[in-house]
Amino acid sequence: MSATEALIDLAEHVLESLDGAVTHHEMMKDEVVLTAKADKICKVLQFLRDDSECQFKMLVSISGVDYPDRAERFEIVYNLLSLTQNNRIRVKVAAAENQMIPSSTPIFSTAGWFEREIWDMYGVYFEGHNDLRRILTDYGFEGHPLRKDFPLTGYVELRYDEEQRRVVYEPVQLQQDFRSFDYLSPWEGMTDMQLPGDEKGTVPERGWKPSNKEVGEGK
């Protein structure tokens, strides 16, 4: 049996054992990807950790993806590793805007920081997490930066105020008065300059020119 066939058999074993908690599976880049129901994620993770044929005892990461055009716009991805079986598996669940996903911290303690990061970056709530607060941005930060509808400039900017002697938050203000955008690459804009090694018929008005020493050495 090939490695791919063994992984497919493992995925089918998970589907049969979990009785509807996992809706389907697929192979992507030689790894099994399971799609699970959001409210059953703890049941799925515990089975993958404890079942003798799985033994995925290491939660490598939890990440988020934003698909604004979908009704369930967020996708939460769990990556697990089995050192005993030398296998990896990926579990995906979908979540709507204000839907709460059960926290997987009772199954894997390492999920705590991963879920905090997803809450910080995407605003996805994890029900049962005992310390769901920002981890990468400041506590006064507005919005969730990895959402597709979040502006690149953000909503506020901070600076140190000498008079108040503290950091203050202010609305973002972009000063465009002294900006010039010609949309040319550096090479396209250098039409009247000469670089070392160029052999041209005329000497440009500015740019590299051979010194008298170099001219004398060339004679």
Q: What is the 3-state secondary structure (H, E, C) of the chain?
A: CCHHHHHHHHHHHHHHHHCCCEEEEEEECCEEEEEECHHHHHHHHHHHHHCCCCCCCEEEEEEEEECCCCCCCEEEEEEEEECCCCEEEEEEEEECCCCEEECCCCCCCCHHHHHHHHHHHHCCEEECCCCCCCCCCCCCCCCCCCCCCCCCCCCEEEEEECCCCEEEEEECCCCCCCCCCCCCCHHHHCCCCCCCCCCCCCCCCCCCCCCHHHHHHHC
What integer pLDDT is reported at residue 83 of this predicted model?
94
Asked whether residue 206 is assigned to any structural domain, the reply reads no
Residue 179: inside a domain: no
Phi and psi angles of residue 212, each rounded to the nearest 5 degrees, phi first: -65, -35
Q: Is the dihedral of CA 42, 48, 52, 55 positive or negative?
A: negative
Pairing between β-strand 22-28 and β-strand 31-36 as defined by DSSP bridges: antiparallel
Q: Is 213 a domain residue?
A: no
In a domain, 217, yes or no: no
- pLDDT, tens digit, 9 for 90 and up, residues 101-156: 999 999 999 999 999 999 999 999 999 999 999 999 887 788 899 999 888 777 87
- Report if residue 28 sits inside a domain: yes
CATH of the domain at 86: 3.30.460.80
Whether residue 26 is contained in a domain is answered as yes
Instruction: Assess contact for 65 and 77: CB atoms under 8 A.
Output: yes
Structurally, how many domains does the chain consist of?
1
Evaluate whether residue 47 is within a structural domain: yes
Residues of the chain with pLDDT under 70: 1, 174-219
In a domain, 219, yes or no: no
Structural domain including 69 reads 3-146
What predicted TM-score, i.e. pTM, was given to this entire model?
A: 0.74
Task: Provide, rounded to the nearest whole percent, the portion of the chain with pLDDT above 90.
Answer: 49
Tokens of 128: 């049962």
pLDDT of residue 219: 47
Residue type, 103: S
